[in-house]
Structure 1
Amino acid sequence: MLAAIWAQDEQGTIGKENRLPWHLPNDLKFFKQMTEDNTIVMGRKTFEGMGARPLPNRQTIVLTRDKSYQAKGVIVFHTVDEVLDYAKTFSGITFIAGGSAVYEDFLQYCDVLYRTVIYHSFDGDTKFPFVDWDDWTLINLSAGEQDEANGYAYQFETYQRKVTAD
């Protein structure tokens, strides 16, 4: 199964200089909980923006056009088809985890979307690509707990692709 997972602000901002423009520990916990024991796919800039190190307890795939790119502890792929072939044979969930161009390449193939919406506007240079929400059904919605460490109102949303008759 292929799924996308991301956090965005009210304006669709997802990043600034290849990093998250906010600090929201509960969203990071959600990301960890969802992706552990699964696979995450990200572009090279996103991977390097998080320190160029794989996250523990999950397989990391770095997608890059650079045929000579190598990084320790990850799988490097160069095409969308390589990732799709991997996802077909992987028994768990293959999560698309950024950046914007990688989301755009894979949204059409995703079965499920996990979106955290942060009710604040941040300065950023990267937006999530267009989603035709008519193609998706909201199947879960839960408010995030706002506290001292998590200073913004936010919610977790899960969408499933609508089945269309051919």
Structure 2
Amino acid sequence: MSEISIIAAVADNFAIGKANNLPWHLPADLKHFRQLTTGHAVVMGKRTFESLPKGPLPNRKNIVLTSVMSEGVNKGYFEADSLEDAVYLCEHEEKVFIIGGATVYKQCIDKVNTMYITWIHNKFSADTFFPQINLDEWKEVSREDHDADELNQYSYSFVVYKRK
């Protein structure tokens, strides 16, 4: 059975997107995301997939949740019409990361045991938000706090949560 986790960058006001893009540019978070997910499977909704600037993420098994199937497998990704089907496509994967968007996070937040959250310490105008987390159900197992710098405009924290 694959380990299924959520990975997300979330602002202090739970913002995760605006106009199908990230509301911020944080190179350290992109690098962190790439390090954690490379070599594993990533599951995302159709709008999240469409927001990727270069198509399927390289060196990862990309699975797109969609109700309208196309020819994804011929374009470097797989399609599934349910979270259960997506998980089935990942049965031989060591790790599976749910990478968004909001609807997919909401569907699976009660089904995962680990969350990798990059908290961006700012509030942003957004049209897409991460589901509210009941932190009484989660234990923080690691945290790396970082100040803003010349490359990263906002302070941020890489936090790993495990379900209690």
1:36 aligns with 2:38: yes
Aligned to 1:46: 48
Instruction: Report sequence identity in percent.
Output: 38
Using the size of structure 1 for normalisation, the TM-score is 0.91
Deviation of 1:145 (Å):
4.7
Query: Matched residues in 2 for 1:64 and 1:91: separation?
Result: 21
Structure 2 counterpart of 1:58: 60
Match of 2:28 in 1: 26
User: Which of 110, 113, 117 is the aligned partner of 2:119?
Assistant: 117
The answer for the alignment partner of 2:149 in structure 1 is: 147
2:14·2:132 contact (CA, 8 Å) conserved in 1? no
Cα distance in 1 between the residues matched to 2:87 and 2:95: 12
Amino acid at match of 2:97: F
Q: Following TM superposition, where does structure 1 have runs of at least 4 consecutive aligned residues deviating by more than 3 angstroms?
A: none
1:81-100 pair list within 5 angstroms: 81-87=84-90, 89-100=91-102
Asked whether 1:136 is paired with 2:138, we answer yes
Give aligned pairs, total.
Answer: 160
Aligned counterpart, 1:76 = 79
- What are the ranges of 5 or more consecutive residues in structure 1 without an aligned counterpart? none
Cα drift, residue 154 of structure 1: 0.6
TM-score, L = length of structure 2: 0.92
AA aligned to 1:81 is: E
In the alignment, residue 61 of structure 2 is paired with which amino acid? Q
- C-alpha deviation, 1:106, in angstroms: 1.0
Give secondary structure in 1 for the equivalent of 2:136. helix
Q: Which moved more, 1:131-140 or 1:34-43?
A: 131-140
Question: 5+ residue gaps in structure 2?
Answer: none
1:8-55 CA distance string (max 9 Å, x none): 111000001111010000000000000000011100111001136111
The answer (yes or no) to whether the contact 2:46–2:66 under 8 Å persists in 1 is yes
Give, in angstroms, the shift of residue 136 of structure 1. 0.9
Residues 128-153 of structure 1: CA distance to partner in whole angstroms, max 9, x if unpaired? 01222211110001112521110111
